[in-house]
């Protein structure tokens, strides 16, 4: 059931203006808390930032008070923000709460987090409204089932892998505090954001108001709120944690599905909500089952006319996984730890789960006769944001699948950030290995022989691929037809993986 907005449009507008007026922005905040303060906050410790802010004194201006309240989760005197922020409205909404007056004037604390957000990747910036970070300063905090997560490492990763071409309609499925919508609104003309949790929508509404965004917020599970609608791009990091059924389920991280059923439902339900050529991008987890290759299991989730590309970034044992999420729920060193751990082990055992894959799933309604299916384990470092590399994949795939005459008649240039590395024994006549490496995107590398390296290196937009192979065959004194047959599959791979740009003829 929809909850009332936290603030009226007028109060939200006043808050927006006053946050700007006191300079509660990413740059100003980072400057005020300094490098040590920032490092402390990354460790969930507030004291270094507090010392930088106030030098240990109790006098503070409105910006310092806002930082104390929301970033440091420490009390601040009402007098410091009176007149600068709409205090009564914030108190009325529970965004701030009054503490007992202990003779120092009225002290306020934050009930809901408001913090500046800025992404160096695509320039998205503004403020995010969410619940307070639990476990800050090692304070034991139990979070409620309807807890609304703020910007997390998973949110940042999803934002970085998201393709950012200009599009028409985008869906932010499971919006939480609204962070993905902030990014989507920069390149989509219409953004719909959904969530099962009414509190998430209540907080996301204020995020949108503070950022002046007209995002269509809707309540409901998965694709229910968008039954007959299609999108050019759907992004989601759904509550993918696979945990035993429990009445204390945390809606921000656990669905009510068994095992990885929720991620499966997101993938298998997407086809009918994508426009032709549209893409779903998911940050998720999936089960590794005893005696069943994960690739085949996930392949069955994708509709037959869709390309499906899964990059497994990390694989955890069931024990590592359980420990990670028990700790995330604040149960580290709690008396329930072992009992919950055992229940979780039994649950995985019953479902035959022997490990958990974590990574990025991209499904595109390509409508190809022979859709591309790609399942790779890629734990290596990538150059974030990888969104641009993922965004060019459809075009690269189409080029990589050109009939041979068209491929050979095409002209290419090397993509940006490609380098050649040669290694071998010092003093040797030639290199032992020639590696062609991307210094951007997924940072893939090709272990190329002399011929492939020569062909790739000669792609400068002048000669066709066929003419380059001919020229290289003469240099190497080999048969041109044989060399073409030898290099063709590797060149198609290089094109698919974004090493070459095709010049439109």
From 113-121, 247-255, 436-444, 446-454, span contacting ligand SAM (CB under 6 A): 247-255
Measured CA to CA, the distance from residue 438 to residue 499 in angstroms comes to: 7
From 14-22, 235-243, 319-327, 336-344, span contacting ligand SAM (CB under 6 A): 235-243
Nearer to ligand SAM by Cβ, of 237 and 393: the residue is: 237
Residue among 26, 221, 334, 384 that touches ligand SAM (CB under 6 A): 221
Tokens 């008070």 correspond to 65
Q: How far is the CB of 240 from ligand SAM (least distance, A)?
A: 8
3-state secondary structure of 15: helix
DSSP string computed for 71-119: IS---EEHHHHBTTB-HHHHHHTTSEEEPP--SSS-EEEESSEEEEEE-
List Cβ neighbours of 256 (8 Å cut-off, separation of 6 or more).
Answer: 245, 249, 262
Q: Are 332 and 326 in contact (CB under 8 A)?
A: yes
3-state secondary structure of 171: strand
Residue among 239, 278, 385, 441 that touches ligand SAM (CB under 6 A): 239
Residue among 67, 167, 203, 222 that touches ligand SAM (CB under 6 A): 222
Residue among 180, 279, 285, 364 that touches ligand SAM (CB under 6 A): 180
From 108-116, 196-204, 370-378, 421-429, span contacting ligand SAM (CB under 6 A): 196-204
Residue among 11, 131, 195, 307 that touches ligand SAM (CB under 6 A): 195
Residue 202, interface with ligand SAM (CB under 6 A)?
no
Residue 418 in tokens: 């490609």
Q: Is residue 457 packed enough to be buried (19+ CB in 10 Å), middle (13-18) or exposed (0-12)?
A: middle
Nearer to ligand SAM by Cβ, of 192 and 251: the residue is: 251
Residue among 48, 75, 126, 176 that touches ligand SAM (CB under 6 A): 176
Binders of ligand SAM in range 129-158 (CB under 6 A): 149, 152, 155, 158
DSSP string computed for 259-309: TTHHHHHHHHTTGGGEEEEEEEEEEEEEEEETTB-HHHHHHTTS-TTSEEE
DSSP string computed for 184-202: HTTTEEEEEEEES-HHHHH
Q: How far is the CB of 420 from ligand SAM (least distance, A)?
A: 38
Tokens 């409205």 correspond to 89
Residue 255, interface with ligand SAM (CB under 6 A)?
yes
Residue 270, interface with ligand SAM (CB under 6 A)?
no
Distances (CA, A) of 97 to 47, 49, 206: 21, 22, 18
Residue 251, interface with ligand SAM (CB under 6 A)?
yes
Residue among 179, 322, 329, 407 that touches ligand SAM (CB under 6 A): 179
Tell me which residues touch ligand SAM (CB under 6 A): 149, 152, 155, 158, 173-176, 179-180, 194-197, 200, 221-222, 237-239, 251-253, 255
């Amino acid at each position: 059931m929809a909850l009332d907005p936290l603030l009226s449009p007028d109060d939200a507008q006043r808050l927006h203006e006053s946050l700007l007026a006191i300079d509660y922005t990413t740059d100003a905040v980072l400057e005020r808390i300094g490098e040590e303060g920032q490092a402390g906050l990354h460790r969930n410790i507030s004291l270094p930032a507090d010392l930088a802010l106030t030098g240990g004194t109790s006098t503070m201006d409105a910006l310092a008070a806002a930082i104390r309240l929301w970033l440091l989760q420490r009390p601040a005197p009402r007098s410091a923000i009176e007149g600068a922020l709409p205090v009564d409205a914030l108190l009325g909404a529970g965004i701030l709460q009054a503490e007992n007056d202990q003779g120092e004037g009225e002290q306020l604390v934050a009930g809901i987090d408001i913090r500046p957000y800025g992404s160096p990747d695509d320039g998205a910036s503004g403020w995010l409204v969410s619940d307070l970070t639990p476990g800050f300063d090692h304070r034991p905090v139990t979070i409620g089932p309807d807890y609304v997560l703020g910007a997390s490492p998973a949110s940042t990763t999803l934002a970085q892998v998201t393709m950012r071409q200009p599009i028409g309609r985008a869906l932010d499925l499971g919006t939480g505090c609204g962070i993905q919508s902030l990014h989507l609104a920069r390149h989509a003309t219409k953004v719909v954001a959904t969530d099962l949790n009414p509190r998430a929508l209540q907080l996301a509404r204020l995020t949108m108001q503070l950022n002046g965004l007209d995002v269509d917020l809707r309540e409901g599970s998965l694709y229910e709120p968008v039954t007959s609608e299609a999108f050019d791009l759907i992004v989601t990091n759904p509550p993918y944690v696979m945990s035993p059924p429990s009445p204390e389920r945390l809606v921000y991280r656990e669905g009510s599905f068994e095992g990885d059923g929720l991620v499966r439902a997101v993938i298998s339900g997407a086809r009918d909500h994508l426009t032709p050529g549209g893409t779903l991008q998911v940050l998720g987890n999936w089960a590794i089952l005893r005696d069943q290759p994960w690739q085949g299991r996930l392949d069955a989730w994708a509709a037959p006319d869709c390309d499906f590309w899964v990059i497994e970034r990390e694989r955890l044992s069931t024990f590592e996984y359980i420990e990670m999420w028990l700790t995330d729920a604040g149960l580290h060193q709690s008396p329930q730890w072992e009992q919950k751990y055992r229940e979780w082990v039994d649950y995985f055992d019953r479902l035959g789960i022997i490990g958990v894959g974590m990574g990025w799933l991209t499904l595109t309604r390509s409508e190809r006769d022979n859709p591309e299916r790609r399942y790779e384990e890629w734990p290596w470092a990538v150059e974030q944001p990888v969104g641009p590399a993922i965004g060019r994949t459809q075009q690269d795939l189409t080029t990589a699948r050109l009939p041979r005459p068209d491929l050979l008649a095409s002209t290419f240039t090397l993509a940006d950030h490609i380098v050649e590395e040669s290694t071998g024994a010092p003093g040797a006549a030639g290199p032992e290995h020639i590696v062609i490496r991307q210094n951007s995107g997924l940072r893939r590398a090709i272990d190329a022989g002399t011929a492939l390296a020569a062909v790739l290196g000669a792609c400068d937009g002048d000669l066709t691929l066929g003419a380059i192979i001919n020229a290289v065959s003469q240099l190497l004194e080999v048969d041109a037809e044989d060399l073409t047959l030898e290099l063709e599959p590797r060149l198609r791979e290089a094109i698919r993986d974004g090493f070459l740009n095709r010049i439109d003829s």
